[in-house]
Amino acid sequence: MRITAVETGRRGVRLRSSFRTALREVTDFEVVTVWVRTDDGVTGCSEVVGTARITGETNASIEEAVNKVLGPVLIGRDLSDYSVALTDAAAAMVGNTTAKCGLDVAVHRAVAAWRAITLSELLGAAPRPIATDVTLSLAAPPVMAAEAARRANEGFGALKLKVGGPVALDIERIQAVARAVPATVALRVDANQAWTAKQALEVIGAVTAAGVTLEFLEQPVPAADLTGLAAVTARIPVPVVADESAHSAADVRRLADAGACDVVNIKLAKCGGLQAALEVAAVACAGGLGVLFGSMLESGTGVAATVALASRVAAEQVHDLDAGWWAEVQSGAVYEPPLVRAEDGVAAP
């Protein structure tokens, strides 16, 4: 069975409420859909989103990369040799990891459809629901506390707080949320690169002294500041997660060698898809680092691929896969807090 066409399109996604981090605020967005079609009528699809401040890509650049550079490499290739074909396509251009992810996931879904199995089974795991946290959008402390209480009541057992300065206000945010939920609810803090190492130490020192227990601190300092990240990791009693600092397997090796984090947040759009993510996870484990699977602000169709991957690599863990939950109209991923499961045979609307 040979690939005969690679196509792209777009659709809009509206959020149930505004999503705000230290980097941006979003109420709706467009996704790029990638379809891979074969000569036997089998189709695989994926959905990805350009996140310029993280991967350097826009939706327009994703479409250009898929249609003009990556996709043509796959035309005429046999699905039975899909891994080599995807490796060849990825080698056709540097960077553009979200575009590569779109093509990679669409091909994997085509292969799964051809074999009449789920994506999880193609990756070597039984389909299963995965536990996820839910994000608390950056807001005033009382607003975040009220939101935290609502999400805990809905069944989420882990909350990820978006923070981003000023430091005194971030301390207040964390403490307010901690007071609003039962002690059994895990609290995760994500600064999205907003702090310096000194500020990170100040915030964590203050909240831990106040008796707040945090499960982890994610990306407290700018992505390129591995020295600062290592200093925070060495000096706080809370595990540190690298997100924007950890795109590729090479990045993860550098993080491990520098002692710059305890865990890496693996996202398909950062590394280039399922095939690359498996390599990143293997490198992380070899370097003594934990792995957490996350997502960009993307559709449930995009999240579903990562759910399948998590079922292969770290099924018992609570991951960071709530992106599809934020959509006003959900598809691809089904949320039953605290669990998310991938719909079988997922196809983009």
Query: Which of the residues are catalytic?
Result: 162, 267
With contact defined as beta carbons under 8 Å apart, do 187 and 177 qualify?
A: yes
Give the angle 329-335-338 at the CA atoms, nearest 5°.
145
Phi and psi of 39, rounded to 5°? -75, -10
Tell me the residue length of the chain: 349
Tokens describing residue 52: 């310029």
Instruction: Judge residue 319's burial from the number of C-beta atoms within 10 Å of its C-beta, 0-12 exposed, 13-18 middle, 19 or more buried.
Output: buried
Tokens describing residue 144: 């975040």
* Count of other CB atoms within 10 angstroms of residue 192: 22
Task: Say which amino acid occupies 232.
Answer: V
How do beta strands 130-132 and 318-319 pair?
parallel
Q: How far is CA 94 from the centre of its chain?
A: 21
Q: Where are the beta strands (DSSP E) in the chain?
A: 3-20, 25-38, 43-48, 130-132, 134-136, 158-162, 186-190, 216-218, 240-242, 263-266, 290-293, 318-319, 333-336, 339-342
Q: What is the spatial distance between Cα 197 and Cα 321, in angstroms, rounded to a whole number?
A: 27
Q: Where are the beta strands (DSSP E) in 225-308?
A: 240-242, 263-266, 290-293
* Count of other CB atoms within 10 angstroms of residue 201: 16
* Closest by Cα among 299, 276, 312, 298 to 346: 299
